[in-house]
Structure 1
Amino acid sequence: MLRALALAAGLLAAVPAAAQTAPQYPVKIPAPGGEAIIPNAMYQREYDEVGYAAARRVGDTLYVSGGIVARRKDEGNDEAAFKAQTLRTYKQLEATLKAAGASWDDVVMVNSFHVWDSPNFTGKPMDQIRVMTEVRRSLSSAPAPAWTAVGTTGLLAPTGIVEVQVIAHMPKK
């Protein structure tokens, strides 16, 4: 009898675990005029805990939340390190664009927020702009997007150098 009860309890405990399957990414959540896009589990946590979507599509326009170009613990603060950090961030943005069905070729607007005097980058402001342009061109053959670059005193990430937000045009197919 005890053995049967233990077996039944084990089966009941397994049912919720089996019923709770991991979501298939990207997750697209219907929203007024379009959808919120969650490309992966990391962004799912951000959506659930912080309350923002990695991307939001409204009509033919896709708004992608900012990605932060930041220096990691063992990275340098010279131009070569900044280029690698920028590529890493642009690849993150590219993954979000792809999850929404877009690419860098669809980007029509870039907004960037720069900590010009950051100890995490030893170059000048135009060095940041030049490197960011080189990286974007390596990912897109489309005409250049519009771009607004703004200086700021800090970003959410303590070692952040630049935050990059993009807007893409995505006509329905």
Structure 2
Amino acid sequence: MSDVEFFVTPGYGEMFRDTRHYSQAVRIGDRVEISGQGGWDDDLNFPESLADEIARAFENVERTLAAAGASWQDVVHVNSYHVASAGAAIDPVHAEVMVDQLRTWMPERMPIWTATGVSALAANGMRVEIRVSAVVGD
């Protein structure tokens, strides 16, 4: 059985560990799984712009992956959760910005991706959350 090691993101991850009793990432052998990352700063503030929030969520994914010894270059699967704002569908702006960010962070790789519309996320004002799976050295 591979060793299981848990990680927290420096900054906000330490707060989540202490107040909510969970880790931001787990590494089992060469596989890294991370919890959903929002577009918050270390004080859990969100940008007004949706595009900025999504971009910051991608940055937070990178920070969390790095804590576990991985990067976007190791990502094989992306799950994104979006607060639906256009009726029962995800606003097209979410998809446009997500695709732009995927191309920016993973120009040589096209991961599998599932985008799910939700009615709410864990924090007030949060509009997007991104969770990934990575295989280090793949």
1:85–1:73 Cα change, 3 Å: closer
Tell me the TM-score normalised to structure 1 length.
0.67
Tell me the TM-score normalised to structure 2 length.
0.82
CA-to-partner distance for each residue in 1:35-80, whole Å, 9 max, x for gaps? 001231431221122111110111221011111246x5772xxxxx
1:94 aligns with 2:62: yes
Give the number of aligned pairs.
131
Name the counterpart of 1:51: 21
CA distance in 1, matches of 2:84, 2:12: 28
Q: CA deviation at 1:110?
A: 0.7
Counterparts in 2 of 1:147-166, with a 5 A limit?
A: 147-166=113-132
Counterparts in 2 of 1:76-95, with a 5 A limit?
A: 81-95=49-63
Name the counterpart of 1:130: 96
The structure carrying a bigger helix percent of its residues is 1
Name the counterpart of 2:30: 60
**Structure 1 runs, 4 residues or longer, greater than 6 Å off:** none
Q: Which amino acid aligns with 1:62?
A: V
CA distance in 2, matches of 1:51, 1:163: 19
CA distance in 2, matches of 1:40, 1:152: 28
Q: Which amino acid aligns with 1:102?
A: A
Q: Kindly indicate whether the alpha-carbon contact (under 8 Å) linking 2:38 and 2:56 is maintained by their aligned counterparts in 1.
A: no
The Cα RMSD (Å) is: 2.4
Q: Kindly indicate whether the alpha-carbon contact (under 8 Å) linking 1:83 and 1:135 is maintained by their aligned counterparts in 2.
A: no
Amino-acid identity (%): 32
1:60–1:73 Cα change, 3 Å: closer
Q: Which moved more, 1:102-111 or 1:36-45?
A: 36-45
Name the counterpart of 2:80: 112
